[in-house]
Amino acid sequence: MLKLFLWLRYLRRRKIAFISIAAVALCVALLLATDSLLTGFVDKLESADLWTMGDLVFQTESAANPDEFVQRLRKIARKFQSEAQHIFPRQKTSAGVR
């Protein structure tokens, strides 16, 4: 109790000490608020990235031979394109092919 009394008496007489303690407390509060805001921003940014990513993600087994990977992708694209033409045939209209 005596320590508290002496501490309060010291702060009443020396305003600069009280102001410096208040400044440090304010800076710590601002750092905590900034940290929580940025953490929330990063979390939202990461979750938004999941929504913008495509449904298919292609990865190569080895970066040493990217030409083979491109050829495989083209083969897959041709296969899907031919299957899509069977499922969704082009309709002829009077203006031409739609």
4-55 pLDDT per residue, tens: 888 888 777 778 887 888 999 999 999 999 998 888 888 887 777 666 666 6
pLDDT value of position 57: 67
pLDDT value of position 97: 47
Name the amino acid, one letter, at 64: A
pLDDT value of position 28: 96
Phi first, then psi: give them for residue 52, nearest 5 degrees: -90, -10
Torsion angle defined by CA atoms of residues 12, 14, 20 and 23, in that order, rounded to the nearest 10 degrees = 40
Distances 77 to 36, 43, 58, 70, 73 between C-alpha atoms, Å: 45, 35, 13, 10, 6
pLDDT value of position 45: 77
Residue 98: pLDDT band (50, 70, 90) is very low
Domain positions in the chain: 1-54, 58-89
Token code pair at residue 90: 């082009």
- In Å, the largest CA–CA distance within the chain is 99
pTM (2 d.p.): 0.40
